[in-house]
């Protein structure tokens, strides 16, 4: 069982939330967008949104500047 995170295969963890995944893979950037199977996941549900097995997860870093 596995998931893809930014095109890299990693182990699937049962009942893992988006927030838990971000901690596990050490994504500590304050501004990220997460998509699971192409669907945007709002930040306010990162704690409760469970990632299904075989998911394609995209973590996109937002960079501000001028």
pLDDT tens sequence across 2-58: 999 999 999 999 999 999 999 999 988 888 999 999 999 999 999 999 999 999 999
Cα–Cα dist 6/34, whole Å:
10
Nearest by Cα to 28 from 59, 50, 7: 59
Candidates 3.40.250.10, 3.10.20.30, 3.30.450.20, 3.30.70.20; correct CATH number of 2-61? 3.10.20.30
**pLDDT tier at 66, thresholds 50, 70, 90:** low
pLDDT tens sequence across 16-30: 999 999 999 998 888
């Amino acid at each position: 069982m596995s998931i893809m995170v930014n095109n890299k295969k990693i182990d699937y963890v049962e009942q893992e939330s988006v927030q838990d995944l971000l901690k596990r893979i050490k994504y500590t950037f304050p501004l990220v967008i997460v998509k699971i199977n192409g669907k945007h996941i709002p930040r306010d549900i990162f704690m409760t949104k469970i990632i299904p097995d075989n998911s394609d997860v995209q973590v996109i870093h937002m960079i501000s500047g001028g």
